[in-house]
Every structure is written in C-alpha cells, then in structure tokens.
C-alpha cells in the first residue's frame, strides 16, 4: 500500500522541494498549508491525485489533526523570519511544532521530521532562535525518535536572501549590510530536502543534524559573490549595529502602531540580534556526511537563477561571447 506523508508548510520554500522528492519516492503527499488554493502547483510533482494541497492552520488542534489523519509520516517546515499578526514566533515555531508532534503521536505516527535552524538556543535573546529551540524540545517530548534538521542560510531559486539583494543591486549602486563580518554556511534548498527525504524513509538516525554547505563566507563575501554572478557593481556599505537597532526599532513600532497593516519586511530588531552571531555548523552534531549527501556549492547553483538580475538577463552570455568574436 502506498504510504502517505503530511508536510506542514509543504508549499513553502523548503517544503515544496521535500514534497517533490517524496512524490518521486512513490509516496502520497499531503501538503498542509493555510491557502491550498494558492498551492495547486504542487499537484504537478506527482501523478494525478498523488500530491494534494489541503487546508491546515497549525494554531488549531482540529485542523492539524485532520491533516494528519491516516498519515505514516509527518514533516514540519513551518517557520517565519518576521512576525505578523497572530503568526508569531511563539505560536508557529514553538507551540505549532509541539502541537504537530503531540497530535501526530496521538494518531500513532512515530516518524517525524522537524525543520529547525542553526542557532536554535533556548537561552538566546533572539525570539526566532529561542522559539526554534522550544519547538525542538516540544517535538522531542512527543516524538523522541524524530529527526531534527538545522540548516544554515538556505538558498535556491525562491530564496529571500540572494534574490532580495540582487534586486537591490539592480536598482541602486549601494548595498547596505548589517554585520558584514558575520559568517554563514549557505546550504542549497534541495540538499536540505534530500536530508529530509532520507529521514522520512528511515535512512537518518534520530536526533539533531546540522546542515551547512561547503562554503563558509562572511556577509560581505556573500554579497561580493552575488555581485560577480549578476555581473554588476555596487558599493557594499556597513550599517553599524547601533544604527541598525534604531532603524529596526522604528520599523517594528510602525508595524505595531498600524496594527499590522504596515508589515515590517525590511529589518526587525530580532533579525539584528541574529545578524550579530555566526550561522555555521558547530560540529557537535552529524551533518551531510553522515547522511551520504554531498552539498552543492554556491558557484554551481547561483548562476542558475540569478541570471535574470544581469544587465542583459538571459542574453548576457551571448553578448559576452559576441564581444570576443573576430570580425
């Protein structure tokens, strides 16, 4: 009988890659999300009826239980980088993850994968990092054999990092950077999905796994790499932390005073706290090597989707080649 996996946040950045991989494994895939009408694209990942988006709100027990009904495994990819309305770090990353684990256990599901993040720390001043750790603890309480994946900065065609800064570089000659010396270990989104796939099919040991790519670079170096890929020039300007904290404080208060009508998607105080800490594997937990996965380099992946930010877009290589032709 064909097995069924429920993926919470399965239409999101990381979740869609996991959904595609599980469909290729022959599993039925239930993509649980808040707006299933906007997630119909996931149906193309498998045969007719193999991948289905369904409604689920992880703040509600009944909704989560319905999405878990009959499943053999569950993957939780839900997370936010900035809070908005009722979708806070606490409700989604801590309480939501715990709710999924608790109700999965009640359903008799013992196979769970939790997508967390490097830097998860119950003692952190960052609400993002703190709630990631609280979510991990809640999952382990109800699912002691769960696999927890902690990726560093995740990049890929739909990312909100390289795409965002490449868009800025296309419009302005200056790139403001907070924490230029903070180190990251970017990891390709499909490599994270490959790790989740192995966890679901039972090829990963329970517990925490840290996922970092082969490159360790500072924020400034990442921007320099991105500029080389899109073949543009921009002045990388350091924004001091005290300035960034002031800017973030104002933007957070604008969002609060507007009752969320104005969303702070620029810079939050919590993001500033995270940018003050390196985001690399600690070496305390197993990683890609234990899973038998060779992570992709930025050099091989970034050109595949950042080409659209080049001055001539898809025709950049053709134009460069034409310049070298002898008349």
Question: What number is the average pLDDT over the span 171-181?
Answer: 95
| Coil, helix or strand at residue 140 | helix
Of residues 279 and 86, more confidence is placed in 279
What is the reported pLDDT for 259? 82
What is the reported pLDDT for 319? 66
Of residues 85 and 224, more confidence is placed in 224
Residue 320 pLDDT exceeds 80: no
Tokens found for residue 228: 């080389």
In the chain, pLDDT over 70 holds for what percent of residues?
96
Residue 1 pLDDT exceeds 90: no
CB 233 within 8 A of CB 309: no
What is the reported pLDDT for 209? 98
What is the reported pLDDT for 207? 97
Question: What number is the average pLDDT over the span 144-170?
Answer: 97
Residue 326 pLDDT exceeds 60: no
In the chain, pLDDT over 90 holds for what percent of residues?
89
The alpha carbon of residue 135 and the mean position of all alpha carbons in its chain are separated, in whole angstroms, by: 15
pLDDT tier for residue 321 given thresholds of 50, 70 and 90: low
pTM (predicted TM-score): 0.94
Residue 11 pLDDT exceeds 60: yes
Q: Using one digit for the tens of pLDDT, what is the confidence trace for 232-287? A: 999 999 999 999 999 999 999 999 888 888 888 889 999 999 999 999 999 999 99
Residue 7 pLDDT exceeds 60: yes
User: Which residues fall within 8 angstroms of residue 242, CB to CB, at 6 or more apart?
Assistant: none
pLDDT tier for residue 68 given thresholds of 50, 70 and 90: very high
Compute, in degrees rounded to 10, the torsion defined by CA atoms 212, 217, 220, 223: -60
**Mean pLDDT (the chain, rounded):** 94
- The distance in angstroms from the start CA to the end CA of the chain is 65
What is the reported pLDDT for 105? 98
The alpha carbon of residue 289 and the mean position of all alpha carbons in its chain are separated, in whole angstroms, by: 21
Residue 56 pLDDT exceeds 70: yes
CA distance 184 to 152: 7
Q: Which domains does the chain have, with CATH numbers?
A: 4-217+277-309 (3.40.50.720)
CA atoms within 13 A on the CB side of 155: 29
């Amino acid at each position: 009988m064909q097995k069924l996996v429920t993926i919470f946040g399965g239409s999101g950045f990381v979740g869609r890659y996991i959904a595609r991989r599980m469909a290729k494994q022959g599993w039925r895939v239930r993509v649980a999300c808040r707006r299933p009408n906007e997630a119909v694209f996931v149906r193309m990942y498998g045969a007719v009826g193999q991948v289905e988006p369904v409604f689920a709100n992880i703040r509600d027990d009944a909704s989560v239980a319905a999405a878990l009904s009959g499943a053999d495994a569950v993957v939780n990819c839900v997370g936010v980088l900035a809070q908005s309305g009722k979708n806070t770090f606490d409700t989604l990353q801590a309480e939501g993850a715990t709710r999924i684990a608790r109700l999965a256990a009640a359903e008799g599901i013992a196979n769970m994968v939790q997508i967390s993040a490097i830097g998860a720390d119950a003692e952190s001043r960052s609400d993002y990092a703190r709630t990631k750790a609280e979510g991990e603890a809640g999952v382990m309480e109800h699912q002691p054999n769960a696999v927890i994946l902690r990726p560093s900065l995740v990049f890929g065609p739909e990312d909100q990092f390289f795409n965002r800064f490449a868009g800025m570089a296309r419009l302005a000659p200056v790139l403001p950077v907070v924490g230029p010396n903070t180190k990251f270990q970017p990891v390709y989104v499909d490599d994270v999905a490959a790790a989740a796939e192995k966890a679901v099919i039972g090829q990963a040991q329970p517990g925490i796994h840290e996922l970092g790519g082969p490159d360790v670079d500072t924020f400034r170096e990442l921007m320099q790499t991105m500029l080389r890929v899109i073949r543009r020039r921009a002045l990388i300007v350091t924004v001091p932390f005290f300035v960034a904290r002031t800017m973030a404080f104002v933007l957070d208060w604008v969002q609060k005073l507007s009752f969320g009508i104005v969303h702070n998607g620029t810079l939050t105080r919590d993001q500033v706290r995270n940018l003050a800490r390196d985001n690399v594997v600690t070496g305390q937990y197993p990683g890609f090597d234990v899973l038998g996965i060779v992570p992709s380099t930025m050099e091989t992946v970034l050109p595949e989707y950042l080409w659209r930010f080049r001055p001539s877009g898809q025709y950049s290589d053709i134009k460069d080649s034409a310049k070298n032709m002898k008349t």
